[in-house]
């Protein structure tokens, strides 16, 4: 527990040096003792040495992000008050952090008086003693398969594979388009496994900076490279005895892929700059929205790593292939965001549901969730009607009409059909080309030829 008999310690965690330095200078002028950390792993190391009274924690950081650090802080240091730092696009994430136990959040760029006010608020809460965790009472944590909504035959197959995969330590490879719920499935496997009481460490491979990636994963020893002022524990050590999730693993370089292959084979690793091997006991789950066979063919992904990862392959179907789950998902999101926003949305009309089921959902479940959330926040009324839906859903036809009373040339029909598919995919050329059965270059030529609109 933080020591309140001396000057309260503040820990500032942000990957931007200018933010760390600026906050530290402001708070130091208020006679507060301030330490800084450049990432989540370093923050947890500093907390283990001397817990801080207040932690100012950036949400978006490479490696271990603020959300993951917050969960550890709430569990290991319940007395510490946490203030999240966020950019404007991430306010929704900041609100989610409040539900997880953060006391408040700062939006960049913030004023000095805002910073001082929130830190004083956090220190006053600390003096009052621990508060009851009302959020945990109001909204039980969903775990395992219960966190995944779906009753279609396609999802029943996914659930069966999750149940079979969970008790083992075999590596799992999750494939499927963006927004299909790959991280939810990874968490479900962890929650149903013997490792459920240990850490689940998700890492977005696309967010890791290549030059720092090896140090983030494996850690480094003091003096191993310029700027390595102290020994640092890597994310693998944080996940020891738990589950490590590589989200979008095809974003890893071939160099890191080779090192990961050795970790999987030998279950040990070395810190950067060290000759000492550290034993590792983790379960590895990876995901990809790319066709890994194509990635192997073009030389961007190692074939031997693919075989190591795909011991248990699980493919998540796109939402358009399980349209029968859309009413269930809509009901789930209506309940979720009605509670979050304290709105009294009671349901959705049959016509609106039919329109949602007819839409192709290129963004899958994530796109559907954001659509329902936006409607609940922006629209009035107890029932969601067709006119409340986005125009690209409500004003489109469910089928492309080839025949009509008018005569059309073959070129006119081609133009209209390409425009129809572009509208369905909201201008996403890769997806449109796949549906049309042509390559992206050919699609681009047709768009230019017919002067088509591609943005919605």
Cβ atoms of residues 190 and 242 within 8 Å: yes
* Greater model confidence, 110 or 228: 110
Average pLDDT score over residue span 370-375? 90
Res 143: pLDDT: 59
CA 142 – CA 368 distance, rounded (Å): 20
Cα-Cα end-to-end distance for the chain: 52
Copy the structure tokens of residue 132.
């009851």
CA distance readout (Å), 265 to 214, 260, 269, 284, 407: 18, 9, 10, 12, 65
- 195: tokens are 């490792």
How confident is the model at residue 128, as a pLDDT? 63
Instruction: Write out the H or E segment, with its range, that includes residue 326.
Output: helix 326-341
Indicate if 339 and 429 belong to the same structural domain.
Answer: no
| Domain-located, residue 106 | yes
The CATH number given to whatever domain includes residue 223 is 3.40.50.300
Is 120 domain-assigned?
yes
Check whether residue 89 and residue 231 sit in a common domain. no
Instruction: Give yes or no for residue 405 having a pLDDT over 50.
Output: no
Same domain, 228 and 259: yes
Nearest to 52 by CA among 100, 4, 103, 104: 4
Kindly indicate the confidence band of residue 326, based on its pLDDT and cuts at 50, 70 and 90: very high
Q: How confident is the model at residue 95 (pLDDT cuts 50, 70, 90)?
A: low
Enter the tokens of residue 62.
């490479």
Please check whether residues 126 and 37 belong to one and the same domain: yes
Within-domain flag for 27: yes
pLDDT at 398 over 50: no
Q: What would the 3-class secondary structure string for 218-261 be?
A: HEECCCCCCCCCCCEECHHHHCCCCEEEEECHHHCCHHHHHHHH
Residue 137, in any domain of the structure: no
CATH code of the domain covering residue 110:
3.40.50.2300
Q: Residue 142 class from Cβ within 10 Å (0-12 exposed, 13-18 middle, 19+ buried)? A: middle
Same domain, 437 and 293: no
Q: How far apart are CA 337 and CA 31, in angstroms?
A: 42
Lowest-pLDDT range of 250-264, 283-297, 380-394, 400-414: 400-414
Q: Give the CATH number of the domain where residue 418 resides.
A: 1.10.10
Q: What is the CATH classification number for the domain harbouring 381?
A: 1.10.8.60
CA dist., res. 58 & res. 345, Å (int): 33
Average pLDDT over residues 9-21: 91
Check pLDDT > 50 for residue 140: no
User: How far is CA 6 from each of CA 30, 32, 33, 295, rounded to the nearest angstrom?
Assistant: 14, 10, 9, 56
Alpha helices in 219-325 (DSSP H): 235-238, 254-266, 292-297, 303-309
Point out the least confidently predicted range of 54-58, 396-400, 412-416: 396-400
Q: Summarize the confidence of residues 259-274 as an average pLDDT.
A: 84
Burial of 217 (0-12, 13-18, 19+ CB in 10 A): buried
In the predicted model, what is the mean pLDDT of residues 25-33?
90
Of 247, 230, 269, 329, residue with least CA distance to 68:
247
DSSP output for 19-36: HHHHHHHHHHTTT-EEEE
Residue 179 to residues 141, 315, 317, 368: CA-CA distances in angstroms? 21, 13, 10, 9
| Mean pLDDT to the nearest integer, 252-256 | 89
**pLDDT on residue 97:** 76
DSSP 384-396: E-GGGS-HHHHTS
**Side-chain-side CA neighbours of residue 314 (13 Å):** 32
For residue 420, report the phi and psi dihedrals to the nearest 5 degrees: -60, -45
Say how far apart CA 456 and CA 444 lie, in whole Å.
17
Percent of the chain with pLDDT over 70: 85
**CB atoms closer than 10 angstroms to residue 112:** 13
Q: Are 91 and 188 in the same domain?
A: no
**Domain stop point among 96, 131, 166:** 131
Does pLDDT of 455 surpass 90? no
Residue 177 to residues 3, 15, 79, 224, 307: CA-CA distances in angstroms? Answer: 48, 30, 40, 39, 20
Question: Between these two residues, 215 and 143, which has the higher pLDDT value?
Answer: 215
- Which stretch of 168-182, 208-222, 411-425, 428-442 has the lowest confidence by average pLDDT? 208-222
Regarding whether 31 and 89 lie in a shared domain, the answer is yes
349, 386 contact by CB (below 8 A): yes
For residues 294 and 413, give the distance between their C-alpha atoms in angstroms, rounded to a whole number: 32
169 plus 278 within the same structural domain: yes
- Rounded distance, CA 264 to CA 319, Å? 32
Give the tokens for residue 143: 């775990």
Query: Are 196 and 344 members of one domain?
Result: no
- What confidence category does residue 238 fall into, taking pLDDT thresholds of 50, 70 and 90? confident
The pLDDT value recorded for residue 322 is 92
Range of the domain at 43: 9-131
Residue 210 has pLDDT above 70, yes or no: no
- pLDDT of 336: 87
Q: Which of helix, strand or coil describes residue 106?
A: strand
Final residue of a structural domain among 394, 418, 437: 394
How confident is the model at residue 138, as a pLDDT?
Answer: 34
Rounded mean pLDDT of 363-374? 92
Is residue 402 over pLDDT 80? no
The pair of structure tokens assigned to 57 is: 């924690």
- Predicted local distance difference test score (pLDDT) of residue 399: 46
Q: Which of 281, 315, 349 is the last residue of a domain?
A: 315
Counting the structural domains of the chain, the total is: 4
- 320 lies in a domain? no
* pTM for the full predicted model: 0.60
Q: Residue 270 domain-assigned? A: yes
Q: How much is the pLDDT for 342?
A: 81
Is 190 inside a domain boundary? yes
Give the number of residues written for the chain.
456
Q: Are residues 40 and 121 in the same domain?
A: yes
Beta-bridged to residue 85, according to DSSP, are: 58, 106
Quick one: pLDDT band at residue 167, thresholds 50, 70, 90?
A: very high
The answer as to whether 56 is a domain residue is yes
Predicted confidence band at 390 (pLDDT cuts at 50, 70, 90)?
Answer: confident
Enumerate the H helices of 30-181 as residue ranges.
Answer: 40-49, 66-76, 91-99, 112-128, 134-138, 153-165
Same-domain check for residues 375 and 414: no
pLDDT of residue 174: 97
pLDDT bin (cut points 50, 70, 90) of residue 63 is confident
Instruction: Look at residue 6 in the predicted model and tell me its pLDDT.
Output: 52
**Please, what's the largest Cα pairwise distance for the chain?**
86
Q: Tell me the three state secondary structure of residue 306.
A: helix
**68 token code pair:** 């993951």
- Mind giving me the DSSP string for 1-18? ---TTSSPEEEEE-S-HH
Residue 304: its pLDDT value, please? 95
Q: Which two tokens stand for residue 372?
A: 């329902």
Helix axes 112-128, 17-28, angle to 10 degrees: 70
Whole-number pLDDT of residue 136: 38
Residues 56, 154, single domain; the answer is no
Q: What is the mean pLDDT of the chain?
A: 83
């Amino acid at each position: 527990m933080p020591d309140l008999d001396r000057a309260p310690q503040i820990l500032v965690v942000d990957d931007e040096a200018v933010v760390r330095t600026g906050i530290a200078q402001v708070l130091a002028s208020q006679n507060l003792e301030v330490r800084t950390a450049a990432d989540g792993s370093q923050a947890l190391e500093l907390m283990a040495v001397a817990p801080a009274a207040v932690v100012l924690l950036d949400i978006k950081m490479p490696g271990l992000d603020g959300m993951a650090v917050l969960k550890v802080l709430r569990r290991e240091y319940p007395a510490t008050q946490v203030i999240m730092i966020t950019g404007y696009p991430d306010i929704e994430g900041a609100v989610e952090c409040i539900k997880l136990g953060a006391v408040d959040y700062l939006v960049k760029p913030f004023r000095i008086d805002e910073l001082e006010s929130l830190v004083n608020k956090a220190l006053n809460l600390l003096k009052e003693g621990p508060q009851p965790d009302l959020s945990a009472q109001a909204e039980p944590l969903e775990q395992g398969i219960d966190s995944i909504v779906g009753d279609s035959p396609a999802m029943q197959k996914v659930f069966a594979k999750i149940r079979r995969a969970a008790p083992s330590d075999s590596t799992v490879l999750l494939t499927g388009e963006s927004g299909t719920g790959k991280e939810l499935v990874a968490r479900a496997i962890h929650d149903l496994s013997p490792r459920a009481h240990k850490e689940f460490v998700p890492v977005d491979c696309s967010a890791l900076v290549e030059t720092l990636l090896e140090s983030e994963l494996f850690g480094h020893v003091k003096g191993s490279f310029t700027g390595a002022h102290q020994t640092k524990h890597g994310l693998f050590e944080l996940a020891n005895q738990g589950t490590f999730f590589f989200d979008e693993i095809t974003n890893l370089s071939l160099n890191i892929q080779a090192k990961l292959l050795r970790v999987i084979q030998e279950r040990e690793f070395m810190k950067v700059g060290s000759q000492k091997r550290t034993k590792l006991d983790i379960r590895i789950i990876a995901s990809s929205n790319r066709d890994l066979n194509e990635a192997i063919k073009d030389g961007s992904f190692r074939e031997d790593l693919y075989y190591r990862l795909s011991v248990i392959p699980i493919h998540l179907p796109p939402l358009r292939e399980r349209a029968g789950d859309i009413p269930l998902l809509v009901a789930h999101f209506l309940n979720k965001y009605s509670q979050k926003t304290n709105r009294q949305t009671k349901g959705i009309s049959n016509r609106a549901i039919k329109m949602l089921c007819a839409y192709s959902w290129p963004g899958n479940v994530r796109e559907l969730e954001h659509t329902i959330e936006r409607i609940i926040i922006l629209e009035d009324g107890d029932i969601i009607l067709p006119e409340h839906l986005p125009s690209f859903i409500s004003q489109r036809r469910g089928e492309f009409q080839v025949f009509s009373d008018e005569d059309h040339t073959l070129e006119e029909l081609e133009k209209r059909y390409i425009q129809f598919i572009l509208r369905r995919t909201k201008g996403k050329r890769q997806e449109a080309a796949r549906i049309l059965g042509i390559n992206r270059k050919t699609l681009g030529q047709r768009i230019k030829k017919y002067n088509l609109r591609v943005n919605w």
